[in-house]
Chains A and B, each alone.
Chain A
Amino acid sequence: MTILSVRDLEKTFGSIVAVRDITLDVPAEQTVGIIGANGAGKTTFINMITGHLKPSKGTIRLEDRDITGWPSRAITRLGISRSFQMAQIFPSLTVFENMCAAAAASGLDGALMRVLAPLRSPATIEQANTALERFRIAPYRGALASTLPQGVRKLLDIAMAVVGSPRILLLDEPTSGISVEEKFGVMDVVMSALKSRRLTVLFVEHDMEVVARFADRVLAFYDGTVIADGAPALALADPRVQTLISGTKTDGQGHA
């Protein structure tokens, strides 16, 4: 069953075409890896789906609902959540307070009475603690978010995006800024935390090995459009992908 469908999506900034002619369907519970060089349009694509940017042309549908150009908070409330390349957390709160804020905020449906309920309800605290355990950041519970190492920051950002039980999760470079040795560890934590949640995941990643290991499907972006779309083994072996994106025509083991 298709959960997300995109038709003829285009985004221009003045005379620059950032994304063009994207048409694709994502079935529910698929894990999609998005690859492409810097400036290929990956983040613009994600920004349009999550409402951060309005498309210049084309439509985005969540199941049978047209969400093109909706504000990001409305899209989030429908169940499309995201993390960011630069982790978006609350630096002057502790990790636990960050999670509580995220759990309480994503439990709202805009009703005034919910906004005036206590933030630290037993349900919120339990949700926050479960998320901290699941993402293995419970040891940092009391630490100020501004003092966290990069990997923990990223995990916190993702945990905050997921705590409201979204249906689609978009991860923009979940392992950027994390050392090569740690990347697999971080992705393992993320993917095992997301398992059993029946979640559709789209993630942007530069490391081809990470993509090959975690994605069911790969979208290869080049110059604003998708040049290859398919199972990782096929998409990554595509000659155009090898020349234009991974930059290694021979073994496909390029490190970003």
Chain B
Amino acid sequence: MCSRTNLVGALAFIAAAAAAPALPAWLVSLATIAFANGLVVLGLVVLWRAGLVPFGQALFYAIGAYAVALLSRYAGWEDVFLLVAIGAAAAGIVAFLVGFLLARYRDIFFAMLSLAMSMILYGVLVKTQTLGSTDGFHVEAASFLGYAPHGQALNLMLFWLVLAVSAIAALLISLYFRTVAGALAVPVRDNEIRLEFLGISVNRLIHLKLVIAGVLAGLGGALAALAVAHVDPNMAYWTTSGGFVFVTILAGAGSVAAAFVGSFVFELVRSIAVDLVPGLWQLILGSVLLLTILFLPEGLGSVFHRLRRSPEKAS
């Protein structure tokens, strides 16, 4: 079963990569942002399985994005692979440091503390002139190991990059879910006392999850900064974090692919809604979430599970 899932994932990946040049430019851009944000959502899925919902994941998203923007602006670095790796690493290091505090909290206290931390960064970004203040700043065009495309060619290259990073992250996280640390997520949510009395440090397990989610959010932020070619403090604002939580609920914690499909559906619905009824797009998004919660309480991902389970029952 798991090899079949991987096969379906690989086919979807190749199909998306191959179809990109034939797709309209707006759809490629939309998918690029959607998958970059999907990486952040994947990190939230890792935490959500353990019963943790951070309302401040934009902290790591913004760190990834600003790392890319600052290095390209002040150091003149252009290589996307290097920039994205540093963005992810920077977010991972911050996640490791704040993790010592965050891993000790649960439920609403965890959510609010993470929100508070992201708002501290927001405050710093808004007040600091060298960091671009409220306007943020432009991210210089990027190069891929020396190759520096422009226009639609750049957009396509960025799409392929985001797609490849997403595919690798999806594979690694699906492997992680089968490890002891990953598979003990539901036990963490269910009963910490039993885990402690099996000799497990729950805080350390959660700390690891925080770092993983932080790295993924940093990756997403770094790629988003390249895709939009701009960063601003709103990337650290709590509504950005709220958006990620929204998509996580829409996607569900059931599967790795759901994070990306959910993120894509979210961006698609939003852009269509903004296009059709500019004043009411929030209403439409809200209704979509409401309908999802009512009819697919385990998120969009549960559709795949249902499809996958039915042939198994027959065989």
Contacts and interface: CB of A to CB of B under 8 A. Distances in A.
Interface string B157-186: 000000000000000000010111111101
A81 B197 contact: yes
Contacts of A76: 196-199
B305 interface: no
A7 to B, nearest CB: 24
A118 B296 CA distance: 30
Contact of A114 (B180, B184, B186, B198): B180
B184 A101 contact: yes
| Secondary structure of the B contact surface, majority rule | helix
B186 A92 contact: yes
Nearest to A118: B178
Given A115-B180, A116-B181, A91 B190 contact: yes
Contacts of A88: 191, 193-194, 197
A118 B194 CA distance: 20
Interface string B183-213: 1101101110111111111000100100000
Interface residues of A, number: 33
Contacts, number: 88
Contact of A89 (B182, B183, B194): B194
Contacts of B184: 101, 104-105, 119
Contact of B179 (A50, A105, A118, A164): A118
A117 B263 CA distance: 30
A82 B190 CA distance: 18
Nearest to A81: B197
Contacts of A119: 178-180, 182-184
A110 B198 CA distance: 12
Contact of B191 (A71, A91, A106): A91
Q: Which of A72, A104, A160, A161 has the most CB of B within 10 A?
A: A104
B178 A90 contact: no
Nearest to B181: A115
A90 B199 contact: no
B194 A106 contact: no
A105 B200 contact: yes
A224 B79 CA distance: 70
A123 to B, nearest CB: 12
B198 A105 contact: yes
A104 B195 CA distance: 11
Contacts of B176: 116
Contacts of A81: 197
Q: Which of A74, A77, A101, A116 has the most CB of B within 10 A?
A: A101
A81 B200 CA distance: 12
11 contacts: A50-B197, A71-B196, A84-B193, A88-B197, A90-B194, A93-B190, A105-B180, A105-B198, A115-B180, A116-B176, A116-B181
Given A115-B179, A160-B194, 12 more contacts: A73-B196, A73-B198, A73-B200, A88-B194, A92-B186, A93-B190, A101-B183, A101-B198, A108-B199, A110-B201, A115-B180, A117-B180
